[in-house]
Structure 1
Amino acid sequence: MDLGPFEADNSSSCRLASDIPEMCRTEDCCLGIDEAGRGPVLGPMVYGICFCPISKKEELKGLKVADSKTLSESERENLFQKLDEAKSYIGWALQILSPNTISTSMLQRTKYNLNALSHDTAIGLVQYALDSGVQLKEVFVDTVGPAEKYEAKLSQLFPGIEVTVRPKADSLFPVVSAASICAKVARDRVVRDWKFAEDLGEVDSDYGSGYPNDPKTKAWLLKYLDPVFGYPQFVRFSWSTAQTLMDNKAVNVHWDDDDEETGEKVAQRQNNRSMLSYFSVSAGGKEHNPPHQTHRFFTERRLKSLNTL
């Protein structure tokens, strides 16, 4: 697994993939989807797919793949090596979503929550397999949100493919277990060898599991909180854990416009009266409403009230 493309720019999302086995282009195939790193406040979330011919399901099961959360790091590494060595019939692909991608998606003006991001990432990976020539007939997915709705959504998007969405799918279907292992191995390696773009000097790499309730993770977050600039991009700053620490420990910033009534509020206040009043004029052609000073929100946008239509 060459993580070079992601390490070259770990501020954005990156896709990595194995070669497509020739068997997967000619035989009906099954595909599993799972993720690693959904909950941590540190590091990326990685979505993985693994696929193989349906005729090779027993061989895949014989590799003794299991839910990656039940395995040690060394066991996961060994199993990934076995999956990689079975490249004549097994293929995989990964989508690494950087902490920066996750945070900016969740905090943008039009909300893009983690479930929607997860669904779109999984859909993109299935489409990648199809575009690469994999003859997909079965897809197994570990659910995000209500399983029935997710299954219906995927079935509608990919007609002709039998879609199965189940909670704990990584412990039920070996092909999902294999995807789970690929995703977890990639995340472990990325987190362990993270290249900090910020000038932090020698960084303490003992940040624990990355989950918000881990004491080591909490201590690391406190240590590397800059009171002005916040956190390095290794941190998901959209997580409430990070936001709370910044609110409590970082320097308060006062913007000059904070004391000025915003244009939106002015517009709302000025328009609280009946909309019909804008079209109500006196016999002399004047508006019944008393004159008022126009806020710069309107003047800057060259907006004026209309007397006639």
Structure 2
Amino acid sequence: MKIIGIDEAGRGSVLGPLVVSGVAVEEDRVKYLERLGLKDSKKISPKRRVALSRKIERIAECHTVNITAHDIDTLRSRDVNLNEIEKIAINRIIGDSNPSTCFIDSMDVKPERLTRELETMHSDLRVVAEHKADDRYPIVSAASIIAKVERDRAIQNIRKTYTNVGSGYPSDPKTIQFLKNLSQEPNGELPDFIRRSWATVERIIG
């Protein structure tokens, strides 16, 4: 019996991709993940996350989907909301891993609705969708770590060209200042890693 944990990183960011990751393992191997003492990736230092991600990759199969800023903007222009965008990635990961049980950190305000939707789409799948599942289930914590490490890599790649982007989140003054500086650029061209459909970006850059 294979189980999978699914979580994301970068959902609320104005820069870079939304990364959705799944960590799948046979049920009798979950104990090896538990021994790593995993928890929500946001509560672990970046260096520790990288070290843990390597250990997780040795224990389990990892599936990651990067949804670029451009793809997010394109889908949103077709009235596909962020929950639906994330579900596209989730369904791809479930299809690729073919688990019997899926534990997921619910992005839907009603976890039971997400459970129902996924179980309808995948008839042989049992779904456990909960808020803060990354704190409760080590396999979801593992997915959270894999997603965050992948997302951090994407931001590091952006920083090779643009040094002062901050974390990419609207709550980060550095990120807001970066967007304000861009708004002063004479050519008006925005880098492709910016989510132009975000209200924060529209307000600052127009």
TM-score interval, normalised by the smaller of the two chains: over 0.9
Correspondences of 1:215-226 after superposition (within 5 Å):
215-225=173-183, 226=185
Gaps of 5+ in 2: none
Looking at structure 1, the residues matched to 63 and 50 of structure 2 have their Cα atoms a distance apart, in angstroms, of 16
Residues 234 and 120 of structure 1: CA distance in aligned 2, closer, same or farther (over 3 Å): same
Give distance in 2, aligned partners of 1:114 and 1:179: 19
State the distance in 2 between where 1:175 and 1:181 align.
Answer: 10
1:238-277 to 2 correspondences below 5 Å: 238-247=197-206
**CA shift for structure 1 position 246:** 2.1
The C-alpha deviation readout for 1:177-220, integer Å capped at 9, x for no partner, is 1111111100101110138xxxxxx8431221111121100111
Q: Which whole-Å CA distance do the structure 1 matches of 2:46 and 2:123 have between them?
A: 37
CA RMSD, aligned part only?
A: 1.5
Structure 1 residue 84, shift from structure 2 partner: 2.2
Residues 252-296 of structure 1: CA distance to partner in whole angstroms, max 9, x if unpaired? xxxxxxxxxxxxxxxxxxxxxxxxxxxxxxxxxxxxxxxxxxxxx
Q: Please list, as runs of the form range in 1=range in 2, the aligned pairs for 1:167-206 lying within 5 A after superposition.
A: 167-194=131-158, 203-206=161-164
Amino acid at match of 1:67: D
Partner of 2:31: 58
Give the aligned partner of residue 166 of structure 2. 208
Deviation at 1:227, TM superposition (A): 4.7
Gapped runs of 5+ residues in structure 1? 1-27, 131-135, 196-201, 248-309
CA displacement at 1:160 relative to structure 2: 2.3
Shift of 1:162: 1.5
Q: Output aligned runs, 1:20-35, within 5 Å.
A: 28-35=1-8
SS in structure 2 at match of 1:64: coil
Give the Å deviation of 1:69.
0.9
Aligned to 2:194: 235
Secondary structure of 1:63 counterpart = coil
SS at match of 1:208: coil
Q: Matched residue of 1:193: which SS?
A: helix
Q: Are 2:12 and 1:39 aligned?
A: yes
CA distance in 1 between counterparts of 2:186 and 2:62 reads 42
Contact 2:165 2:174 in 1 (8 A): yes
TM norm structure 2: 0.94
TM-score (norm 1): 0.63
Please say if residues 182 and 205 of structure 2, whose CA atoms lie closer than 8 Å, have aligned partners that are also in contact.
Answer: no
Q: 1:153 aligns with which of 117, 125, 138?
A: 117
The 3-state SS of whatever aligns with 1:94 is: strand
Residue equivalent to 1:129: 97
Equivalent-residue separation in structure 2 for 1:169 and 1:82 (angstroms): 21
User: Aligned residues, how many?
Assistant: 204
Aligned-pair distance for 1:128?
Answer: 1.3
Contact 1:67 1:180 in 2 (8 A): yes
* Distance across 2 between alignment mates of 1:59 and 1:113: 37
Aligned to 2:73: 103
Larger Rg: 1
Match of 2:105 among 123, 142, 156: 142
AA aligned opposite 2:55 = K
- The yes-or-no answer on 1:116 pairing with 2:84 is yes
SS of residue matched to 1:224: helix
2:70 maps to a residue whose letter is N
Instruction: Check the 8 A contact 1:119/1:144 in 2, yes or no.
Output: no
Distance in 2 separating the partners of 1:124 and 1:246: 34
More helix, by proportion = 2
CA contact (8 A) 1:41 1:239 kept: yes
| Offset, 1:91 | 0.5
